[in-house]
Structure formats: C-alpha cells, structure tokens
Structure 1
Amino acid sequence: MKSSFPHRSQTTLLKRNAAVLAALLLSIGCARADTVFDQPDPDFSGRVFSAGVAKPGDEVAMRGGGFKPGQEVQLLRNGHNIAKDPVLTADQDGNFSTTVAVPKTAAVGRHPVVVQVAKPSAASIFEFKVSPDIPYSGAEKFNVAAEHLTAGLYQSAYSAAGKALFVTAAVGRPPVKESSLLKVDPGTLKIVASVTPAADPDNDKGQVMAVYGVAVDDAAGTVWATNTRGNTVAVYKQADLSLLKQFPAGTVHHARDVIVDSGRHRAYSSATGTNEIIVFDTQKLEPIGAIAIKSKSRESFSPMSLALDADKGRLYTVSISTNEAAVIDLNTQQVEQVYPLPGAKSASGVAVAPEANVLFAASQGSDNVHLLDLRDGKVLHTVSVPAGPLNVAWDARNKLAYVVSRGGSAITVIDLDGKLVANLDGGTYPNHLATDGQGTVYAINKSRGKDDATGDRITRITVK
C-alpha cells in the first residue's frame, strides 16, 4: 500500500526546490521593488498643456515642457494611455509634443490625466478639459453689424449722455508700448477719436499706461480705465479724451474691471489677486477705501468682473479663485452675501437682471453660466456654453443674457429660463460685451494677428 505522503528522499528534494523557488521569488520581488521605488526626480518641474479647445471627436495637440532631457512620459486616463505616442521622450530642451484623439463619446468636463514620468521618475495631474460642441444657431433672429477697429481690443462702455462707445485696446505683454482709448460712433461703428495713454513713469523700456477695463461716468462726463499692467486706474474726459487723472502705480493691484455709480459719486475697481474692491470718490478723484470680501472657503476671494444695480444700491462680483459670487451693499459699503457657485471653475463674468432678482455668472474653466436667485443664492439653472465663457451682459429690454466665449469663438444668448436662444459667431477670441440699456449689445473680439479677417472687431447686435 502506497503512502499518501512522499518518501524521505522526495521530501528532501521538495524542500530544496521550495527553497530555490522562495529565493527566486524574493529576488524578483526585490528587483520589482527596486523598479517601483527607483530614484525620484527631486526637482521635477515638468508641465503638460493642450493647444486649443478640445471637443468630443477632436484631435488635439498636446505639448510638454520643463522636463529633463530624456525623461520618458506617459499620459494616462483611468490607467489607459491617451496620447498618440505610448511613451513620449523629452528632447534636449525638455520638451515634447503629441496629439490626443478625443472620443466622440467623451464626457464634457475636466478630466484628470496622470502624467507618469520615468528616468528619473515623477508624476503629476494635468486637467484636460473637454468642452461642449455647440453649433452656431439662431442668427436669423438678430441684426448683426461689425467693423474692424484696431489691434488689441479689450472692453467697451456705452455713454447714453454722449451717445458714444468708449473702447480700450492694448497689444502684447510688458513692456506694452501699443495701447489706445477709442471713441466710437455706435451708429457707424467707426472711430471718431483716439488717444495713446501717457508713458509709464516707472518703466524705462517705452511702456505706456495701457488701458484694459473701461466704464463711463455720464454725470461727470468722464471715462474710467484700468491700467492692469500698472496696477492702477486713470480718468479721461469723454469730450476730447484728455487725461484728467492718472493714479499712481499700486493704487489697484492688477486692476481688472472698473464700474461707476454716478448717483453716489463712486467708482469701484476689482483688485484681482487680492480679496479687495478699491473704492474711489468720482468728484474728488481720490481713492477712499477698500471693500474686503471674505470667502466661505479656505481660499482667498479674488474678484473679477463687476455688475451694478444702482437703483437697489448693490454691486456684484465673482471670484476666479473660489468660484463664488458676492453681493455688496453700496449704502453700507459692506459685503451682504457670498454665494457658492457649485460646478463652476474660474468664475470670471457677471451680470445682473434686477427685475428678476437673477445673477448670471460665467465661468471660463467649466464652460458654463450659472443663473442664481439673489433672494437666497439658489442656483436656478446651469447652462453649458462654448469653451471659455469670459464675460456676460444683460439686455433688460429683451430679457436676454449675452455671453462671450473666448475659446469657442461664440456669443451665446440665453433667457431667464436657462434656455439657449442663439449661439452666434463671435469672431476670433470674443472678449467683452456692453449694452446701451435700450436693446442693443456691443461685442468686442480680439485677433490671431494682423491678417485675421474676423479679428479686432466691434459687433452690434439687436433683436429683429
């Protein structure tokens, strides 16, 4: 009868084989551990970014920079490589380029892509944004006229008293040597006057006090402009565009927008990068204080666009850093409410419909517009719009909101029910909107260069 256990010699052989196998597995495990925990990159600075707008079905160019020469990079989403090249090798300058084919079924939103790096090893997360693909529509409902103005257009403001538009323009990065404040006929859309801002006294490289944001004070006959690069603001006469007051550098940190409450003789400028709105006396032309906005999050509130309801004495802004909207009581100069904007990313534009108690907040990072009930902060609607919505304006006569989407080259029109009324061709890089309060909206767009046929235009829009 055979034993169910092996003989002694067999047992010895099995023990030896087991020992060898254990040693082999241990060595493999050690080798694998050495591979997994190899030398990390102690000063990793690689970054990845997409070139242009990505929509479902698009093939998008991707670039990387700041890597060490020879580093190997994989772009992974849910563990799957998304790049055309399975492994990307940084060149001698630390750069690489590839393409990503976005599936037609890709969900809209910000997708976390793992940037897995080897030789030496590192990793980071890159947010790859897939934007809505919204076709142009509804052009037959509107009258549209456009004219080329000048290079580097930024914003516009309408003067009801002077029946004129004031438009700012600035070209390039510091030192900015080309900038202008334009006076435009709203009927012909032609330039009737222009002025170049004064030289920057703190710059010896030919920079001027370039103008970006703009607002009018019809009670005083003035135009206020932000000198974003100079961290300040300036005041001009509407009549001849002569400079009345150039506030010193540092008056408003990264002055983004400016708005004027003529009845209360106050001007307000958003100091983006801080949590403050700087307040000016429009009669004395002096800064008189700051309104600090405290976020309900752990981050610091950073104001962007401004909207005014003069009748109710309320000023509105949104925060690009915390995705919140703030309501300021202008009678007390105090923050009345701070409302969250769930689902928003990089909130930038704001407009108010006072008669409906609705605030519109456009967020360029999430490609959407929130309609907020100002009575309780409840989100009434969240509307998807083309890529990079930057600014929004309210047409009170026709009860419509107009949104410029810089990346999507579109002007989207939505109503108070959150429905898309039209999606109009906005030309290259639509940047700003203004209204005359009587049913006419003016849009400003930038350009890709001197030969851009649809760039640097002002567009007048009315409902048929």
Structure 2
Amino acid sequence: MSSVTRQNHRVRRTAAVAVALASGSVLALAGTASAHTGHALGHASTVVSAPLAKGLYQSAYSERNHVLWATTAVGRPPVSSSSLLKVDPRTLAVKQTITPPVTDAATGAVEAVYGVAVDDEHDTVWTTNTRNNSVAVYSQRTGKHLATLPNVAHAREVVVDERHDLAWASGFGDGTVVAFDTRTLKEKKRVTVAGSAPTGLAVNERTGTVYAADLNGDRLIAVSPWAKDPSFIPAGDGPISVALSADGRTAYAADQASGALSVVDLREKAVTESVPTGAGALSVAADARTGRVLVVNRTAANVTVVDPRKGAVVETLATGANPNHVTVDHGTAYVVDKSGAGPEGQDQAYRIRIGH
C-alpha cells in the first residue's frame, strides 16, 4: 500500500469512527453465548445476559461499591435522552438512573454521557461528554453531578489513576490527552500530538504513564505525568482500544481495521504478536486473575478470549449485533451492546465468567 493510499485509508477510518461516535452507532451484543472455538479450556466461560437500556455505550466496575456503572445516550444533537446507570453486577438490574444536567432548556438537551471510569478512592464516577467536549464527575454514593470540566475536544474515553490522583481523558477531536486532579478537579496536564486521534486509554498506576491508542497513527501514545513530551510505540492497523498486562510490561491493542489483537512489548517498543480476533475489533480488556485478554468484535458480533502467552484465541463467545465495550474485574467481564434486542428495544448487558 502506498503512503498516499495509507493516508487516505486512515483519514476515511477516522471520519467513520467520528461519525459512529456522533450518531450512536457504536457496538452491541445479542443473546446469551456459550459456543467456543480454538484451544480447549479447563473450564469454559459462562455468559449471562439481560436487557438494560437503550443507547448503551460503556461500563465500569466499582470494587468499593460492588456496582457496575453504565452510560447511555440516544439520538443526534440535541440529545435529550441520556443517563448514567447504577447496575447490580450480579442480577444486571438497574438500581438507579441518573440524568445528566440540562444544557439547553429550550430543546431539552442534556450533557450526554458516553465513556465512563470509576474513582473508588474518592468515591466518584467520571464520564466523557463527547458532544459537549467535556468530562464530568458524579458522586458514586448519591449520584449528584459534582462538576463539568471543559475543553476536551470530542472526549472519548476516561481512565483513573487512583495512586497518583489523576483522571486522564482522550480528546479525539484535536489529538489531546488531558489529566485532571481527582482531588481538586482541576486540569493538571495537557499533551497535544498533531494529527493524532486518541481513543482508548490504559494507565500503569505504578509508573503513572498513560497509554492512548492513536487510531490515526497505528501506534500508542505514552504520556508520563512528569515528562514534557510523549513517546510513541508501534501498534497494529487501526488501534482503537488498549489494555495493560498485570505487570505493566505488555500492552494489548484492539486493532479495528485489521480485526486483530496486537501484543506490544512496551520495553522493546515493538509488536510481538498479532492475533486475529474478528471483524471490527473495538474494545479490549485484560484480566489479571486468569491472564486472559478479551476483545469485543463489533462487526463479527462476538467476544474472543485470547491467551496472550500462546498468542491464540482460546474461546469465541457469540453475542448479538454490535457489541460495544468490555471491562473486567477479577475473572468476570462485563460487555454492553447496542443491539436493541430487548423486549422493549433495550440494548443488553452481559456478565462473563472467564474460563481458564
């Protein structure tokens, strides 16, 4: 592929993702899954699903409160239907529905929420308000909206480093990675990489370094709280989501364009393995308990379980249409979709006990 063709391909890919984020056409799952392929497991994964709400985007698990937080947003601007959901992780039943603040009384538009992360140290939950170019902070205890922090262009994802009291957000719209102090809720650091498109984020709480998947550059952008300039690490074709191994030495990138998982040695700054997972790889999470890496494949409508030591898929769990996001906690994964397959058109949530 020529450099001009490759550049055009990346521009088209970035535009397509921007449209997907803006239109609400981002991932979904359907039906409970039990089928698996690949290497035999000692114990196969088990999947339970339930209809949750319309317009699901992402979820995050709170160990402190034993709660799954999920975001929803429906429609194009002005978005008047959006909520932050407090979900029982065992039953997948909604315990509380929190409506974001109204931004335009005339239209009923709200500060719609999309990305989500929890800060159990300060008992808060952070959201990205993509259409409002901001992030917001809510109380986990009461659901109260505590603050809106502006100037994160097309804010896509947020991740919390509890050890260093920082919340990092990716600004897909202008190539920025921004850090906020989780105590004062003030901006702490801002790094802009011209021409980049930061999407997914993962943070190493031992070193404080955050890694952003650069959809435009087929690389990871590594930002330290103490370094002036970022560093760059190669990834696969179209990285859109990133996770880290338990020891922080390896990154896993979901490569949307190639439908694969890239295994990246962060010390050597090199891709050591590329594992085909499925068309439209969109979200990735690594489980410290089992060592497995899960990849949500939007187009293929499934979740693949990868053994990174073998560099192979060990299970493929069928889902419904458009699985959108995966998060894990101690051997359990939670996936949300945008299938609209519920009895009242709801999207669905899945709880996966990861096999080993």
Given the alignment of the two structures, is residue 435 of structure 1 paired with residue 334 of structure 2, yes or no?
no
Q: Is the 8 A contact 2:233 2:266 kept in 1?
A: no
Correspondence for 2:178 among 258, 266, 278: 278
C-alpha separation between the residues in 2 aligned to 1:234 and 1:356? Answer: 28
Q: Give the counterpart letter for 2:136 in structure 1.
A: A
Q: Is the 8 A contact 1:404 1:426 kept in 2?
A: no
C-alpha separation between the residues in 1 aligned to 2:153 and 2:338? Answer: 24
The answer for the alignment partner of 1:462 in structure 2 is: 353
Superposition deviation, residue 449 in structure 1: 6.6
Correspondence for 1:401 among 293, 309, 315: 293
The answer for the alignment partner of 1:419 in structure 2 is: 312
Range with bigger deviation, 261-270 or 208-217: 261-270
Correspondence for 2:96 among 176, 179, 193: 193
Q: Deviations over 1:116-141 (max 9, x none)?
A: xxxxxxxxxxxxxxxxxxx9524971
Given the alignment of the two structures, is residue 155 of structure 1 paired with residue 155 of structure 2, yes or no?
no
Correspondence for 1:340 among 234, 240, 247: 234
Q: Deviations over 1:394-451 (max 9, x none)?
A: 0111010000011111101111122001110122210011112x11111111124765
Correspondence for 2:138 among 233, 236, 245: 236
C-alpha separation between the residues in 1 aligned to 2:315 and 2:342? Answer: 29
The answer for the alignment partner of 2:253 in structure 1 is: 361
C-alpha separation between the residues in 1 aligned to 2:342 and 2:315? Answer: 29
C-alpha separation between the residues in 2 aligned to 1:355 and 1:247? Answer: 32
Identity of aligned residues (%): 37
Alignment of structure 1 residues 51-200 onto 2, 5 Å: 137-138=36-37, 141-200=44-103
Q: Give the counterpart letter for 1:384 in structure 2.
A: P
C-alpha separation between the residues in 2 aligned to 1:410 and 1:244? Answer: 36
C-alpha separation between the residues in 2 aligned to 1:461 and 1:333? Answer: 40
In the superposition, the TM-score normalised over structure 2's length comes to 0.84
Alignment of structure 1 residues 201-240 onto 2, 5 Å: 201=104, 204-240=106-142
Q: Is the 8 A contact 2:218 2:234 kept in 1?
A: yes
The answer for the alignment partner of 2:6 in structure 1 is: none
Secondary structure of the corresponding residue to residue 247 of structure 2: helix
Change (3 A) 1:356 1:198: closer
Q: Give the counterpart letter for 1:462 in structure 2.
A: R
Q: Is the 8 A contact 2:234 2:270 kept in 1?
A: no
Correspondence for 1:254 among 151, 154, 157: 154
C-alpha separation between the residues in 1 aligned to 2:110 and 2:232? Answer: 37
Q: Deviations over 1:368-418 (max 9, x none)?
A: 111111111221111112211111000111010000011111101111122
Correspondence for 2:283 among 391, 394, 398: 391
Q: Deviations over 1:252-300 (max 9, x none)?
A: 1000001111221111100002221111111111223302236xxxxx1
Superposition deviation, residue 332 in structure 1: 3.4
C-alpha separation between the residues in 1 aligned to 2:153 and 2:303? Answer: 30
Structure ranking higher on relative contact order (CA contacts 8 Å, 6+ apart):
2
Q: Is the 8 A contact 1:152 1:447 kept in 2?
A: no
Q: Give the counterpart letter for 2:347 in structure 1.
A: D
The answer for the alignment partner of 2:214 in structure 1 is: 319
Q: Is the 8 A contact 1:412 1:422 kept in 2?
A: yes
Change (3 A) 1:386 1:440: same
Secondary structure of the corresponding residue to residue 229 of structure 1: helix
* Alignment RMSD: 2.2
Range with bigger deviation, 229-238 or 306-315: 306-315
Superposition deviation, residue 334 in structure 1: 4.2
Secondary structure of the corresponding residue to residue 210 of structure 1: coil
Larger Rg over CA atoms: 1
C-alpha separation between the residues in 1 aligned to 2:244 and 2:344? Answer: 33
Q: Deviations over 1:320-371 (max 9, x none)?
A: 1111112222343642x312235x1x32011111427211111212211111
Q: Deviations over 1:193-243 (max 9, x none)?
A: 111111114x74221110000011111110000100111011100012111
Q: Is the 8 A contact 1:435 1:441 kept in 2?
A: yes
Q: Give the counterpart letter for 2:101 in structure 1.
A: A
The answer for the alignment partner of 2:26 in structure 1 is: none
C-alpha separation between the residues in 1 aligned to 2:145 and 2:284? Answer: 29
Correspondence for 1:293 among 162, 171, 193: 193
Superposition deviation, residue 312 in structure 1: 2.8
Change (3 A) 1:333 1:172: farther
For structure 2, the 5+ residue unaligned runs are 1-11, 13-33
Q: Give the counterpart letter for 1:305 in structure 2.
A: G
Change (3 A) 1:233 1:356: closer
Q: Give the counterpart letter for 2:173 in structure 1.
A: G
C-alpha separation between the residues in 1 aligned to 2:268 and 2:246? Answer: 14
Secondary structure of the corresponding residue to residue 125 of structure 2: strand
Q: Is the 8 A contact 2:213 2:240 kept in 1?
A: yes
Change (3 A) 1:418 1:355: same
Change (3 A) 1:449 1:144: closer
Secondary structure of the corresponding residue to residue 131 of structure 2: helix
Q: Give the counterpart letter for 1:340 in structure 2.
A: P
Q: Give the counterpart letter for 2:198 in structure 1.
A: P
Q: Is the 8 A contact 1:326 1:338 kept in 2?
A: yes
In the superposition, the TM-score normalised over structure 1's length comes to 0.65
Correspondence for 2:244 among 331, 352, 355: 352
C-alpha separation between the residues in 1 aligned to 2:277 and 2:197? Answer: 23
Correspondence for 2:224 among 329, 333, 351: 329
